[in-house]
Amino acid sequence: MSPVERVLRGLAITLVILFFMFPILWILLMSFQTNETILRVPPSMVFEPTLINYRSLITGKLQTAAGSLEIQFMRNLWNSLLLSTSSVAVGLLLGVPAAYAFARLKFRGSEDIAFTLLSFRFAPPLLVLLPLTIYFQQIGLANTYIGLIWVYQLIVLPLILWIVRGYFEDIPADVEYAYRIAGHSWFATFRKIALPLAKPGIAAAGLLAFIFAWNNFIFALVLASADKQPVTVGALAFVTASGIQYGQIAAGIVLSIAPTFALAIYAQRYLVEGLSLGAVKG
Amino acid sequence: MNQPVLHLDRVDKFYGEIDKGVHAVKNINMEVMPGEIIALLGSSGCGKTSTLRMVAGFESASRGRILINGREVQTLSPVKRNVAMAFEGYSLYPTVSVRDNIAFALKSSTVDATETGRLVEEMAEMLEISAILERFPSSISGGEQQRVSLARALIRQADLYLLDEPMGQLEPQLRTLLRSRLKYYIKSRNLTAILVTHDQTEANALADRIAVMEDGELQQYASPDQIKERPANLFTGTFVGEPPMNVFPARATVVDGSVQFELAGGLALRYPEAEFQESVRQQIIELKEVVLGVRPYAVKRREDGAPAQVMVNQWLGDQTHIAASFADETIVLVEHDRVRLSDGDTIAIHLEPDDLHVFDPVSGRALSHGRSMA
Ligand SMILES: Nc1ncnc2c1ncn2[C@@H]1O[C@H](COP(=O)(O)OP(=O)(O)OP(=O)(O)O)[C@@H](O)[C@H]1O
Ligand SMILES: [Mg+2]
């Protein structure tokens, strides 16, 4: 590569990064400013950084022009964490064995069942939600963590099932036969041979499912009241009677994307590997 | 007579629908006795692996019965058949070390850890893979993977060992060494094994009996000597043996008390009637059109023989292979001395009636071997 080419390429990459990162950077900057400095005309990059937004989020006291307001941001953050983690845990527990069954046992109707599970992803969530709300109220699951985790399976389970199933299908049957023929049970084969081989796929599916669950808005909006709501819904509280609290929203966004962001960076390797390579490499 | 370890009774295998799909194995009957080593020989795609997989239980037989130690196993899962298998594609477990790959074959409930360790070391030593025990399958060579796969099969206590081309990837020296160790291992423990191979030397050296397959059918199932001296049909005759048997279409007649075979190109081989058994002679004459087969090492050069022109003369270091044009075809001779012949030289070829194999050109069935009936 000639020096000119290298410079051009560097420039292009910088532009792309700037384009995609700018909103995030801007939000990061906003989170350290008060509403006044954010809204001044013309906007400027120069300001006196303040931690007031973060402080009010963490203490739960929102300062508006109309006075002090109680918010439950930390509670929401905790809810998000709890809901996403438990949903993914339940999803993996149910989805991975199911994926194995779909991959290995070709029983009658298995394709149809697998597809039906996937089709939950195409259905508009509201279509599912309206009847569900009524059922949940009748059986006492409305506004409970268990009920929410259950509904979250609609997001998590198909994702895990389909990604992990592909992984299990990629494992040559003979590798499992080799273990089976030595007198090992079906379950031992699943645990000792199939699971370790599908690990990258399971990790990738789990991560994606976590991010999807974390970003979900509509289920919790309808089914949960304030004390059970995740950040995605809780952020609505920043739209107050006396205007929108841009600074606090920005700080809230920063805090709420931090876990998924950190997770994605940490697991980037697994994600790329898990989603692009087969289970058994040549 | 004791019971066979394996009995295949009219076994058919179709991939896909019965009578519609790929007919990979056709009506095979076969018995393997305790302590026997059987070599399964045949060209690529003839159904060797399919047969082994049915025995192991990874494929179901479309028809027929499979009995292991007298027990019908068609409906039994592989786990319950107590057979060991070395897979054609190795099928090692990618996530564990070579050592564990081998050790996984032993159930921890039946063999304790120190004993397992000892057995693995022993097996690794025998197959020359001690140095790679801690490595992972993805970081060892094809030949090493193959030996790991073989070790994994042999280390088990099984009623029957199914070895699908266990040494195909190895160089001749190592193959020869391991072949004798493998034979010693199997024989000294009185194990029973079926081994698929493309290498006839291997089949001859290891096997008590050879099963020759072609196109899904069992062509012949007999000792190496039998197969060499009394091939059941044209396929076995030409498939087994290196270099392959020479074959010539011929028209058989009786002229003035001699049996005469007219070959292409106006050549005729003539033998006194007395050289053939009465029944053989009758059959040959009755059929008239036959195929003559003769092994390359049985082709002699003699002053009064039929003429042939040398095409190629190769000294292989321990034997000479001469290819000559004879009766519009090519005949190959093997001699043990270095022969000074150049291309185009004329030689005189003599075929002893003892060395002639006569086949039916239509069915390929052998009629006679030498002077006697097939
Ligand atoms: N799963 C399958 N589905 C359909 N056809 C198959 C399947 N497995 C094997 N066959 C076909 O059955 C025939 C026999 O295959 P098999 O693997 O038994 O041959 P083989 O004798 O082991 O050959 P090789 O020496 O190349 O290993 C072939 O024609 C092959 O194409
Ligand atoms: Mg094969």
CATH of the domain at B221: 3.40.50.300
Do B142 and B192 fall into the same domain? yes
The CATH number of whichever domain residue B286 belongs to comes to 2.40.50.140
Among all ligands shown, which has an atom nearest to the Cα of B47?
1
CA distance A156 to chain B (A): 27
Do B272 and B223 fall into the same domain? no
Number of domains in chain B: 2
Q: Which residue puts its alpha carbon closest to atom 31 of ligand 1?
A: B45
Chain B, residues 53-72, CB within 8 A of chain A, namely 56-58
- Residue A178: its chain B contacts at CB < 8 A? 85, 87, 91-93, 149, 152
Do B210 and B111 fall into the same domain? yes
> Which residues make Cβ contacts (< 8 Å) with residue B269, sequence separation at least 6?
B250, B260, B261, B263, B292, B306, B351
Q: CA torsion sign, B194 to B195 to B200 to B204?
A: negative
Interatomic CA distance for residues A221 and A236, integer angstroms = 10
Quick check: CB of B212 below 6 Å from ligand 1?
A: no
Could you tell me the residue range of the domain that residue B323 belongs to?
A: 246-373
Do B103 and B33 fall into the same domain? yes
Residue of A nearest to B156 (CA): A182
Q: What is the 8-class DSSP label of residue A51?
A: -
Interface probe with B: pick from A168, A174, A181, most Cβ of B within 10 Å: A181
- Residue A202: its chain B contacts at CB < 8 A? none
Residue B194 inside a domain? The answer is: yes
Interatomic CA distance for residues B153 and B164, integer angstroms = 11
Q: Which of B239, B258, B283 is the last residue of a domain?
A: B239
Helix axis angle for A195-215 and A145-170, nearest 10°, is: 140
Tell me, what's the pLDDT at B355?
93
Do B22 and B169 fall into the same domain? yes
> Which residues make Cβ contacts (< 8 Å) with residue B247, sequence separation at least 6?
B234, B237, B238, B291, B292, B293, B359
The DSSP bridge pattern shows strands B160-164 and B83-86 to be parallel
Interatomic CA distance for residues B220 and B211, integer angstroms = 6
Interatomic CA distance for residues B113 and B155, integer angstroms = 14
Share the mean pLDDT of chain B: 93
Do B285 and B214 fall into the same domain? no
Local confidence pLDDT in tens for the 374 residues of chain B: 689 999 999 999 999 999 999 999 999 999 999 999 999 999 999 999 999 999 999 999 999 999 999 999 999 999 999 999 999 999 999 999 999 999 999 977 778 889 999 999 999 999 999 999 999 999 999 999 999 999 999 999 999 999 999 998 899 999 999 999 999 999 999 999 999 999 999 999 999 999 999 999 999 999 999 999 999 999 999 999 989 999 999 999 988 888 999 998 888 999 988 888 888 888 888 889 999 999 999 999 998 889 999 999 999 999 999 999 998 999 999 999 998 888 999 999 999 989 999 999 999 999 999 888 87
Q: Which of B239, B254, B276 is the last residue of a domain?
A: B239
Q: Which of B47-56 are b and which e, b meaning 16 or more Cβ less than 10 Å from the residue's Cβ?
A: bbbbbbbbbb
Confirm if A77 and A214 have CB atoms less than 8 A apart: no
Tell me, what's the pLDDT at B49?
96
Residue among B31, B118, B108 at smallest CA distance from B70 = B31
Confirm if B55 and B83 have CB atoms less than 8 A apart: yes
Confirm if B308 and B297 have CB atoms less than 8 A apart: no
ipTM of the prediction: 0.84
Residue of B nearest to A196 (CA): B95
Q: Would you say domain A73-276 falls under CATH 1.10.10.60?
A: no
Choose which residue among B50, B53, B218, B239 to substitute to test ligand 1 binding: the one with the highest number of ligand atoms within 8 A of its C-beta.
B50
The two counts, helices (H) then strands (E), for chain A are: 13, 4
Pairwise CB contact (< 8 Å): B92 & A175? yes
Residue B1 inside a domain? The answer is: no
- Residue B162: its chain A contacts at CB < 8 A? none
Pairwise CB contact (< 8 Å): B78 & A181? yes
- Which tokens sit at B298? 């049985």
Mean pLDDT by 10 residues, chain A (282 residues): 89 92 89 85 81 86 71 88 95 95 86 82 80 88 90 91 91 93 91 92 91 88 84 81 81 88 82 60 40
Quick check: CB of B58 below 6 Å from ligand 1?
A: no
Q: Which of B239, B274, B299 is the last residue of a domain?
A: B239
Residue B95 inside a domain? The answer is: yes
